[in-house]
Structure 1
Amino acid sequence: MPEYPVPEIADVALEGVLKALGDPTRLAIVRMLADGQARPKAEVWDAFATSKATCAHHFKTLREAGLVTYEVHGRTHDIRLRKIELDERFPGLLGAVTGAPADA
C-alpha cells in the first residue's frame, strides 16, 4: 500500500503554500476541495481536461506543500484539503484564495 507522507503542519511554510497555489490548476483543485471533505482522486482529475499523470503531479505538489492529505480506502485514494489545520496555521489564507469564509 502506498504511503503519502505530508509535512507536519508546523513545518508548512507560507512560501511553499503560495508557490503551490501559484499554478491555476492547483488553485482550482484547492477550490474544489475547499469544503474540507475528502473526494476520490479520480473524481477530482475528471474535472480537469488533463492527463492522469499531470493531475498526479499536481496532487503530489499540493501534498508536499502541506495543503492536502490522502486517505486510502482499499483501491480508492481520496484527497482532502487540510482545511482546519491550514486555517489555524494561516488564518484567512484559504478564504482569500477560495472565496469561502474561514469557518465554512
Structure 2
Amino acid sequence: MSQKVEEYINKQELPKKEILLILRELILRTLPEIKEDFKLGVPWYEEKFYLVALKDHVNMGFAVKGLSKSEMDFFEGKGKLMRHRKYYSANDISKQDIAKLLKLVAKKTTTCH
C-alpha cells in the first residue's frame, strides 16, 4: 500500500475521508493483485481507477475504453477514456454494486492512455 495514498486520505475532512477509506478498501479487496499508485495528486489503481476528494464529494473514476454503450451508462460524465461516480456520503456506497463495476472494468477495459 502506498504511503502517499494514506497521507492523502488522512488529510481529508469527514465525510470525504470515510468515503475514501471505504472505496480504497473495496478496490483492494475486490482486486487484490491491483497496484496502488499516487499520480497527478490522487490515488490511482493501474490506470483503470482513481479516487479524488473534491469540495463536497468524492469521485471514483473508471476507465471505460472497451465497454459497451450500455455499460458506459453506469457512470457519469461524457469522457471517452474515463468516467466517474460521485459519492457524497458513506450511505451512497453500495459495496456490491461497486464490486461488480470494478470487476467489469478490470476485465473489459484497457488503461486510460
| TM-score calculated relative to the size of structure 1 | 0.29
Structure with the larger strand share: 2
Structure 1 or 2: larger helix share?
1
The higher relative CO (CA closer than 8 Å, separation ≥ 6) is in 1
